Amino acid sequence: MDQSYILTQARLSLAYDIEASKPEHEILILKNVPLKTYLVVEEEQWRILRRFKDGMPLQELLPLLITERKSPPLRSLYELVMKAVVAGILLVDGENQAAQQQNRAVEWDHRLRFGMAHWFGVGAILFGFLAVLFRPLGTPTNLIEILVGWLLICGSLTVGYFLSACLLVGFDREVYDTRFRWKHVLPHFHCNVEDGRMAGRMCEMSVALMQLAPMFFTTGITALWFTDLVYLLLMGVFFVTLPSGRSPASLLLRSLYRRYPLSTGHDFIFVQNRLLWTLINSRLKFTDKSYLLIFGAYTLIWLFTVFMANLSAFGLNVGELKNLYLTSSAATVTVIIVLLQMAATILGSLAMISWIVAMNILHVVEQLRMRMQSKPKLLNHEMSGEDIVQFLSGTLLLKGVREEILYELAERVRGVIVDPKQHVFKEGEPGDDLYFVLNGGVEVLMSLKSGRPLRVTELGPGDVFGEVALLHNVPRTRSIRAARKSLLLALSREDFQKLIVGSIGVRDVEAIIRKQSFLHRIELCRNWHPQAMTAFSRLATLAEFQPGDVVIKKGMRNQFFYLIYDGLLEVIVEGKRVSTLATGEFFGEISLLQNSTATADIVAITGSRCLVVQRRDFLNFIGKDFLVGLQFEDISSKRLKHPIFPLTGVAYDDFSERY
């Protein structure tokens, strides 16, 4: 199942035959009736799913949710959509992606009334408990009694499931997968009563009581009149009250004390939710701690009861068991087993740590090897035509350019060696050449009013600079200085215009060099997909600001996302500078994601340039790439020191009509 396609491009629509249970503590259960699949959601999540009634891609819905201040955390939203698709609640391009379930509803002509069944269940359990409590625990004396006891247990289990199915139909619910379990240690009739949760907790509780009642009632009868069978029947009671799996007792406990676990809070499908730290956080957040405590206490009581029942049945006491244990070889065996387990745990942990360290060392070695291989092979600073063509074809600017043009460029370029701190050119000088960084690195500098140069960024192998003067016939707008000894390839203005601009086009050359190459260098975009960088560069325009310009004013209706291309800006709150923003940093995303007004002034300190994206385009952009959306959500939440989604309160302004 292509998650990227489903979350970004697919047209999602609500399936037709969906049933919703009554909300309980703002949680309800959705059921795809034909498929017999379920989804536990919050009321707000159900309202989001209903937005797909007429069909739309998620990338169209997300900007609307943000505009209306109703967006949930994005991880939760993506998990909800994926779980809804798997459960058949949402269709993908009109097709159901849910796996065909094995659950089959059966025609069940028998039904029980709730009141009578409920009180019968409670009464039978009390009767069996009291009868066993005040009567001696007899044990079978021959094989006939063992066989009779085994048959009574199998029959009680069969009657319990049969009555629970009748009660389920009495609640107007469906019975699934009726069959006889022949291969079970206790063969019995069995049915799936999962549909009971659609009728609420009272139905689940009554169904569980009805499954327990026959076993307790039969045990009570044997305690009164057939004492030799009591111990065997009591084993049947312990089986139906087992504190694990899908036992009737576990179902009863869940119906009494457990909150319905949200489908978006466990067994994650969305790939980003499967990261270790996310799994740990979700476990801590969504675990029903009160139910866990109750279930733990029940487990201890169950174990203690089983232990005491066995002591009573065989006439033993704790002191006798202790002496028997110590005088036998069992104590020695136990110590050996414990020591072996401890040794295995320690050795296993050391092996795991060693493996992790070894894999990290191998990764570092591999990275170093790749870096060494990626360096151009220089011999007296000369390269063959094939080497130059290979280098040029790997640059961002010339990817996809025809091979004959690359070979002609390889003949026209010339090598330029610059020493550390040596200027390639200075701001204000006329420009005649375009430069490729072949090896080493250069610094981009801008001149402040004081005359002091300000380092804007650094360019490395594969980067291109010097295009502004050639494209717009203006002096150099920035100074370029070697950060270390470097080898550059220079291309004349005439060859640049003829071979590159003529092949690619002015607009694309400018977008690639000034935008995409910049995006490749900054931390924000380091993990973006190339298509995301291309899309962002096409959406962004380059805006210039003079020293003292107010880019954003507190309380204004911000309509843009800003990414600093070069220059310095300051963040002012209540007249005080609280931080300084430089190249690669960004601002404005919080007010866009919150649909609120700006909370601080942003003022240019130096002449600055920013890549600016309109609000509509920015929201569409993060909707088209869920990884980028998660990144901005995480960054904004860290800046706010609390999760940005879900939004609370009322928006300062409302852009919904203008969106």
Note the pLDDT of residue 116: 72
Domain end (from 257, 275, 307)? 257
- Number of domains composing the chain: 5
d(CA 55, CA 90) in angstroms, rounded, equals 9
Note the pLDDT of residue 260: 82
CB 454 within 8 A of CB 487: no
Note the pLDDT of residue 372: 54
Residue 551: give the domain boundaries. Answer: 536-640
Confidence label for 656 from pLDDT (cuts 50, 70 and 90): very low
Minimum mean pLDDT range among 96-110, 252-266, 442-456: 96-110
Confidence label for 534 from pLDDT (cuts 50, 70 and 90): confident
Query: Is residue 367 located within the same domain as residue 390?
Result: no
Confidence label for 455 from pLDDT (cuts 50, 70 and 90): confident
The helix/strand/coil state of 464 is strand
Average pLDDT over residues 540-549: 92
Query: Is residue 495 located within the same domain as residue 436?
Result: yes
d(CA 40, CA 274) in angstroms, rounded, equals 19
Minimum mean pLDDT range among 109-113, 380-384, 482-486: 380-384
Note the pLDDT of residue 658: 34
Note the pLDDT of residue 103: 58
Confidence label for 380 from pLDDT (cuts 50, 70 and 90): very low
Residue that wins the pLDDT comparison between 248 and 514: 248
Average pLDDT over residues 427-454: 86
Does residue 340 belong to any structural domain of this protein? yes
What is the token pair recorded at 527?
A: 């993990």
Confidence label for 132 from pLDDT (cuts 50, 70 and 90): confident
Confidence label for 355 from pLDDT (cuts 50, 70 and 90): confident
Query: Is residue 120 located within the same domain as residue 216?
Result: yes
d(CA 622, CA 586) in angstroms, rounded, equals 15
Average pLDDT over residues 463-486: 88
Query: Is residue 86 located within the same domain as residue 127?
Result: no
- What's the length of the chain? 659
CB 571 within 8 A of CB 601: yes
Domain end (from 238, 257, 276)? 257
Burial class of 242 by CB neighbour count within 10 A (0 to 12, 13 to 18, 19+): middle
Average pLDDT over residues 499-518: 83
Does residue 81 belong to any structural domain of this protein? yes
Average pLDDT over residues 574-585: 92
Confidence label for 156 from pLDDT (cuts 50, 70 and 90): very high
What is the token pair recorded at 354?
A: 């060693």
Query: Is residue 206 located within the same domain as residue 323?
Result: no
Query: Is residue 58 located within the same domain as residue 23?
Result: yes
Query: Is residue 21 located within the same domain as residue 61?
Result: yes
Please give the helix or strand (H or E) that residue 588 lies within, else none.
none
Confidence label for 548 from pLDDT (cuts 50, 70 and 90): very high
Confidence label for 377 from pLDDT (cuts 50, 70 and 90): very low
For the ranges 4-18, 150-164, 194-208, 237-251, the maximum mean pLDDT occurs at 150-164
Note the pLDDT of residue 320: 59
Does residue 654 belong to any structural domain of this protein? no
Does residue 435 belong to any structural domain of this protein? yes
Does residue 280 belong to any structural domain of this protein? no
CB 285 within 8 A of CB 279: no
**Residue 318: how many other CB atoms lie within 10 Å:** 10
Residue 427 pLDDT more than 80? Answer: yes
d(CA 273, CA 267) in angstroms, rounded, equals 9
Which CATH number covers residue 591? 2.60.120.10
Strands (E), 316-401: none
Residue that wins the pLDDT comparison between 136 and 81: 81
Mean pLDDT score of the chain: 84
Does residue 8 belong to any structural domain of this protein? yes
CB 513 within 8 A of CB 397: yes
Domain end (from 374, 398, 420)? 374
For tokens 């901005």, the residue is 632
Average pLDDT over residues 102-110: 69
CB 206 within 8 A of CB 197: no
Query: Is residue 237 located within the same domain as residue 120?
Result: yes
The helix/strand/coil state of 345 is helix
Minimum mean pLDDT range among 356-365, 486-495, 528-537, 593-602: 356-365
Note the pLDDT of residue 376: 40
Query: Is residue 52 located within the same domain as residue 165?
Result: no
274-333 pLDDT tens trace:
665 565 666 656 667 788 889 889 999 998 888 888 877 766 655 655 565 556 665 566
Residue 378 pLDDT more than 70? Answer: no
d(CA 154, CA 189) in angstroms, rounded, equals 9
Query: Is residue 344 located within the same domain as residue 436?
Result: no
User: How far does Cα 46 stand from its chain's mean position?
Assistant: 19
Query: Is residue 238 located within the same domain as residue 322?
Result: no
pLDDT exceeding 90 applies to what percent of the chain? 37
Residue 368 pLDDT more than 70? Answer: no
200-242 pLDDT tens trace:
888 999 999 999 999 999 999 998 988 888 888 999 999 999 9
Confidence label for 652 from pLDDT (cuts 50, 70 and 90): very low
Does residue 648 belong to any structural domain of this protein? no
Angle at Cα 31 formed by Cα 278 and Cα 206, nearest 5°? 100
Query: Is residue 335 located within the same domain as residue 404?
Result: no
Note the pLDDT of residue 44: 93
Average pLDDT over residues 367-389: 59
Does residue 264 belong to any structural domain of this protein? no
